[in-house]
Structure 1
Amino acid sequence: MQNCLIKQDGGICDVVWKDGHESSYHSTWLRYNCQCKKCFREFSGTYTIDILSLPEVLSVTKAEVHNEGKALKTWFQGESPHMTEHDADWLRSQCYCDNCLDCDIIKRDVINSQKCAGKLPTVDYNTIDKDEERFKFNVLKQVVDSGICLIQNVPITPGQVLKVASMFGPIYSTLYGNIFDVLDRKAENAAYTNLLLPFHQDQPQYESMPGVQLLHALRFDSSVTGGESQILDLFRAAETFRRENPKYFQTLCEVPCKFETMDKKRSHPVFQEHQKPHFVVDYFGKLVAVNWHPGIAVATRVRFDDVPRYYEAYRGFLKLLERKEGMFEFRLKTGDLIIFNNRRVAHARSAFENNGGVRHLQGTYINLDDLKSNYMTLAIKLGENVTPPKVGNGSSF
Structure 2
Amino acid sequence: MMVASFARSLFVTGRQGISSLRAHYPKRHYEAFSLKHKNKVSILSVVPGGHHQSAKIIFDDSPSTTVNFKYIWLRDNCKCSRCVDQSTKQKLIDTPSLDVNIRPERLSVSSDGQLVVEWAENGQNHASVYEPDWLMRYSRCFIEDNFASPVDDEPASQRPPLTLWDRTTIWKNLPEISYAEVMESDKGLALWLEMFHRFGTALLRGVPTTKGKIIEVVKRFAYVKETSYGVTFDVVAEPDPEHLAYTGTHLHHHTDMNYREKSPGMQLLHCLKSTDTKGGSSDPGGMSFLVDGFRAANWLKENEPAAFHILSATPVRFQINVNGVKFSQTWPIICTDHDGEVTEIHYNNRTMGPLQAPTHLITPFYHSYHLLTEKIRTESMQFAFHLAPGDLLAFNNRRVLHGRTSFDETRVSRHLEGCYVDIDETMAIYDSLRNKI
Task: Establish whether TM, by shorter chain, passes 0.5.
Answer: yes
Q: Which residue of 1 aligns with 2:190?
A: 137
- Matched residue SS, 1:181: strand
Q: Which amino acid aligns with 1:205?
A: Y
- Matched residue SS, 1:370: helix
Question: How far 1:87 moved relative to its partner?
Answer: 3.9
Q: Which amino acid aligns with 1:2?
A: S
Query: Using the alignment, how far apart are the partners of 1:48 and 1:249 within structure 2?
Result: 44
Query: Using the alignment, how far apart are the partners of 2:135 and 2:379 within structure 1?
Result: 44
- Matched residue SS, 2:170: coil
Q: Which runs of 5+ in 1 are unaligned?
A: 383-397
Aligned partner (choices 165, 186, 195) of residue 249 of structure 2: 195
Q: Which residue of 1 aligns with 2:268?
A: 214
- Matched residue SS, 2:125: coil
Q: Which residue of 2 aligns with 1:147?
A: 200
Correspondence 1:337 to 2:392: yes
**Residue 201 of structure 1 contacts residue 342 of structure 1 at CA under 8 Å; is this kept in 2?**
yes
Q: Which residue of 2 aligns with 1:26?
A: 69
Question: How far 1:168 moved relative to its partner?
Answer: 2.0
- Which structure would you say has the larger RCO, counting Cα contacts within 8 Å and 6 or more residues apart? 1
Q: Which residue of 1 aligns with 2:46?
A: 5
**Residue 287 of structure 2 contacts residue 384 of structure 2 at CA under 8 Å; is this kept in 1?**
yes
- Count residues with an aligned counterpart: 376
More helix, by proportion: 2
Q: Which residue of 1 aligns with 2:230?
A: 177
Q: Single out whichever of 269-278 and 153-162 deviates more from structure 2.
A: 269-278
**Residue 12 of structure 1 contacts residue 60 of structure 1 at CA under 8 Å; is this kept in 2?**
no
- Matched residue SS, 2:394: strand
Aligned partner (choices 94, 114, 119) of residue 50 of structure 1: 94
Q: Which residue of 1 aligns with 2:359?
A: 304
Q: Which residue of 1 aligns with 2:306?
A: 247
The normalised TM-score by structure 1 is: 0.85
Query: Using the alignment, how far apart are the partners of 1:26 and 1:251 within structure 2?
Result: 39
**What is the correspondence of 1:1-397 to structure 2 with a 5 Å cutoff?**
1-3=41-43, 4-6=45-47, 7-8=49-50, 9-17=52-60, 22=65, 24-27=67-70, 28-60=72-104, 62-66=106-110, 68-69=112-113, 71-76=114-119, 81-96=125-140, 97-98=143-144, 101=148, 104=151, 114-115=164-165, 117-119=169-171, 120-128=174-182, 131-186=184-239, 187-222=241-276, 223=279, 225-263=284-322, 266=323, 269-354=324-409, 356-382=411-437
Q: Which amino acid aligns with 2:263?
A: M
Q: Which amino acid aligns with 2:218?
A: A
**Residue 163 of structure 2 contacts residue 198 of structure 2 at CA under 8 Å; is this kept in 1?**
no
**Residue 291 of structure 2 contacts residue 382 of structure 2 at CA under 8 Å; is this kept in 1?**
yes
- Matched residue SS, 2:263: coil
Query: Using the alignment, how far apart are the partners of 1:293 and 1:276 within structure 2?
Result: 11
Question: 1:150–1:107: structure 2 CA closer, same or farther, 3 Å change rule?
Answer: same
Q: Which amino acid aligns with 1:281?
A: T
Q: Which amino acid aligns with 1:174?
A: T
Query: Using the alignment, how far apart are the partners of 1:359 and 1:12 within structure 2?
Result: 67
